[in-house]
């Protein structure tokens, strides 16, 4: 690896390190004398020669040629760790970093880096171009110049942006929120579910309200890099007619640890038994399955429609509004840190770097039986909930049946943090979650959903365990397989 320094005579302060990995921005013709010869990644020196403006900044700009420049289609997870390590090795020398990268896998790289870089206090701006910098109509110069300026808060009037970002055309995006939307247009990327962080017109404007702020007390010494990312994860798109035996064959891959399931709409999939059985087969084999939507905009809401309720029953985890790229790389980084499958399922639902609009915290209880009253033991919710940010909450009771009847009505009432609750407890108390009644016939396994938002906002205490009381309003014993309490917190 070579570091090539731009002329910095008379320049003061810490500069910006430009890490050149390859990609279209530095492409050159394989035969320099033949403009029709194939484009291949050039060296940093060639890119620098085409861009003399690097010497015009009032602060030092240095170039770092990372390994051998490659087409981004050949990027692998180890490359993300290597790029992160370059930043680690040079962290105290520079005020910010710019990474030149090909556009094909740029969204994966920006997402991965956002999770690999811990306690980041400096800008890391990833950019590239749709045309090589040597082309007359190239978009490379504007992308590179603006990215370097955004990465130099000590030397410019631009506010500090302490996160991994992607800059393209004239917009700055959060790195784990972007998707590539065009293979040729200059506006090649978009951030469908999150506001842009900044815009470059006549002036560079930064929207400081939506930027991740540096945590109080963090310094350069707190920064570190996660050096392990488990590559044994996959992305799978649901399509009409997908065969359950193919799903099972994928889940039978021993090395596979997790799957990002790209589903329809708000998280929907087929509901026929063979499909859901195949999903359950994967979960039972210990695979982590995360549900994200195929749509560019919107959020997965598992359980909102019948077409997604079966996934929740089988143990699939909501990916909320994460991009598929963010979900895949986040899972790989979490697995690389050594968390077990259950921990990863919980952490995938909790915001880490601004990659999702809400966090989901939950507590899960196994089998229950209520002849009249059933109380679960006090249990902590999986994470630190901020009560002021609770957006909604619900309780889902799965696999509900009657024991001593061929048919009848199931009627349940739920209370939160009221250990004394019984069949005579008034529904007017603040701890009352709600009641549900539903016809039942032999062989049915019902799923009952209770809106627990009001009760949770009133009586939930983040510092104390949760107590759920289940009251049966009928004489016949009611049994169920699982009860899960979900809390949604706005980020």
Q: Provide the CA 2 distance to its chain's centre, in angstroms.
A: 33
Q: Copy the structure tokens of residue 195.
A: 């506001």
Buried b (16+ CB within 10 A) or exposed e, 199-223: ebeeebebeeeebeebeeeeeeeeb
- Alpha helical stretches, state H, 132-232: 140-150
Kindly write down the DSSP assignment for every residue of 60-118, as one continuous string.
-EEEEEEEEEE-GGG--HHHHHHHHHHHHHHGGGEEEEEEE--STTHHHHHHHHHHHEE
Q: Are 25 and 41 in contact (CB under 8 A)?
A: no
Backbone angles phi, psi at 228, to 5 degrees: -140, 130
Residue 364, strand partner residues:
484
- Cα 206–208–214 angle (5° rounding)? 120
* Calpha distance 369→245 (Å, rounded): 35
Site of tokens 């510092």:
463
What is the spatial distance between Cα 159 and Cα 162, in angstroms, rounded to a whole number? 9
Measuring CA to CA, how many Å separate 151 from each of 5, 18, 81, 99, 157?
17, 10, 21, 10, 11
Give, as one character, the DSSP assignment of residue 6.
P
CA distances from 410 to 186, 322, 385 (A): 59, 37, 32
d(CA 459, CA 26): 59
454 flagged as catalytic? no
Q: Which of 3, 21, 24, 453 is catalytic?
A: 24
Cβ count near 32 (within 10 Å)? 10
* Cα separation, 270 vs 92, whole angstroms: 52
* Residues acting as catalytic residues: 24
């Amino acid at each position: 690896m070579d570091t090539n320094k731009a002329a910095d005579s008379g320049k003061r302060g810490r500069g910006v390190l430009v890490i050149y990995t390859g990609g279209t921005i530095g492409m050159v013709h394989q035969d320099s004398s033949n403009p029709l010869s194939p484009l291949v990644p050039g060296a940093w020196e060639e890119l620098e020669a085409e861009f003399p403006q690097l010497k015009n900044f009032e602060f030092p700009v240095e170039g770092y040629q990372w390994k051998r420049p490659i087409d981004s289609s050949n990027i692998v997870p180890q490359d993300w760790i290597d790029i992160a390590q370059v930043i680690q090795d040079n962290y105290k020398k520079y005020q910010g970093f710019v990474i030149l990268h090909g556009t094909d896998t740029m969204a994966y790289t920006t997402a991965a880096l956002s999770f690999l870089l811990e306690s980041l206090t400096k800008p890391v701006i990833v950019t590239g171009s749709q045309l090589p910098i040597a082309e007359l109509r190239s978009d490379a110069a504007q992308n590179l110049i603006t990215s370097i300026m955004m990465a130099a808060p000590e030397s410019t009037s631009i506010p500090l942006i302490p996160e991994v970002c992607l800059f393209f055309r004239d917009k700055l995006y959060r790195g784990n929120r972007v998707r590539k939307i065009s293979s040729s247009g200059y506006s090649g990327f978009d951030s469908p579910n999150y506001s842009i962080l900044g815009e470059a017109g006549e002036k560079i404007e930064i929207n400081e309200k939506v930027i991740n702020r540096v945590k109080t007390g963090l310094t350069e010494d707190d920064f570190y890099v996660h050096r392990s990312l488990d590559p044994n994860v996959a992305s799978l798109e649901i399509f009409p007619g997908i065969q359950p035996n193919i799903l099972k064959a994928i889940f039978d891959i021993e090395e596979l640890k997790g799957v990002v399931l790209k589903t329809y709409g708000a998280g929907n999939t087929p509901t026929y038994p063979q499909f859901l059985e195949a999903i359950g087969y994967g979960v039972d084999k210990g695979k982590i399955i995360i549900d994200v939507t195929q749509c560019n905009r919107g959020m997965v809401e598992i359980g909102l429609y019948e077409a997604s309720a079966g996934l929740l029953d089988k143990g699939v985890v909501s990916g909320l509004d994460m991009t598929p790229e963010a979900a895949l790389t986040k899972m790989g980084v979490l697995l690389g840190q050594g968390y077990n499958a259950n921990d990863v399922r919980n952490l995938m639902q909790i915001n880490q770097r601004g990659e999702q609009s809400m966090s989901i915290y939950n507590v899960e209880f196994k089998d229950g039986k209520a002849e009249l009253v059933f109380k679960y033991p006090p249990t902590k919710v999986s994470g630190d909930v901020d009560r002021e940010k609770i957006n909604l909450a619900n309780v889902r009771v799965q696999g509900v049946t009657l024991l001593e009847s061929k048919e009848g009505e199931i009627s349940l009432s739920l209370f939160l943090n009221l250990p004394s609750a019984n069949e005579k407890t008034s529904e007017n108390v603040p701890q009352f979650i709600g009641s549900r009644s539903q016809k039942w016939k032999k062989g049915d396994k019902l799923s009952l959903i209770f809106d627990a938002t009001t009760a949770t906002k009133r009586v939930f205490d983040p510092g104390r365990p949760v107590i759920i009381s289940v009251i049966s309003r009928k004489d016949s014993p009611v049994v169920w397989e699982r009860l899960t309490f979900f809390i949604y917190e706005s980020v």
